[in-house]
Amino acid sequence: MQSLQDKASEWSGVAAGDAFAIDDGNVFEALGGTTQPFVDLSTNFYTRVYEDEEEWFRQIFAGSKKEDAIRNQYEFLVQRMGGPQLFSQRRGHPALIARHRPFPVTHQAAERWLHHMQQAVDTTDSIDAATKTKMMYFFRHTAYFLVAGNEMTRQGHGTSCKCKHGESKPAE
Ligand code: HEM
């Protein structure tokens, strides 16, 4: 059976090596070692999501307050990209597939999510160009990993997967 990781690579067009280039070096430190660039990015991203003209997409987020969604995301990104374990200290293991189970994470939703994230990345000045490229590979691969996980959970399978999308950055 094709693994979630393989499906994510096939559907996203991003090889696993490119998706996890965020683990070459430490992105958090490279961006100055503060949460600010991640706060900037998540605020930019969710402002676009909550104002999306596509109602079907905006509705997916209707159960969460924008401020909470921003904090959940930036704490996860800080942690995943080499900074302090802010997300896990407050919310536990990221368990990304399980946490997305309530939502319709379809191919179409992934593309809309990525559309907003691409625009947010492009307009966040506190992130340098090389890091932007690495982040987008990670986001693209992870979005399709979640699409694959969503299909799997809807078919009644469990959610365990030894994948690196939600893990903390491996030790150097
Ligand atoms: C949370 C949808 C992709 C990481 C959420 C929430 C929704 C959602 C509706 C709840 C908002 C909140 O209360 O925090 C989607 C959809 C995606 C997608 C439709 C399309 C593929 C991603 C990707 C990542 C990600 C690619 C990581 C790179 C997270 C995290 C949370 C979250 C960390 C917070 C979970 C929590 O604290 O419980 N997502 N998401 N999502 N998402 Fe996504």
pLDDT at 17 over 80: yes
Model confidence over 49-80: pLDDT tens digits? 999 999 999 999 999 999 999 999 999 999 99
CATH number of 4-154: 1.10.490.10
Report the atom number in ligand 1 closest to the C-alpha of 144: 21
Ligand 1 center–CA 100 separation, angstroms: 6
- Take residue 154 and report the two structure tokens written for it: 């809807």
More confident residue, 154 or 16: 16
pLDDT at 156 over 80: no
Ligand 1 atom 41 nearest Cα: 143
Report the atom number in ligand 1 closest to the C-alpha of 142: 26
Whether 42 lines ligand 1, by a CB cut-off of 6 Å, is no
Whether 103 lines ligand 1, by a CB cut-off of 6 Å, is yes
Ligand 1 pocket check: which of 48, 100, 167 to mutate, most ligand atoms within 8 Å of Cβ?
A: 100
Report the atom number in ligand 1 closest to the C-alpha of 102: 9
pTM for the whole structure: 0.94
Q: Could you please report the per-residue DSSP string of the chain? A: ---HHHHHHHHH---HHHHGGGGTTTHHHHTTSSSHHHHHHHHHHHHHHHT-S-HHHHHHTTTS-HHHHHHHHHHHHHHHTTS--HHHHHH----HHHHTTTS---HHHHHHHHHHHHHHHHT-TTS-HHHHHHHHHHHHHHHHHHHHHHHHHHTT-------SSSSPPPP-
- Take residue 145 and report the two structure tokens written for it: 């990993």
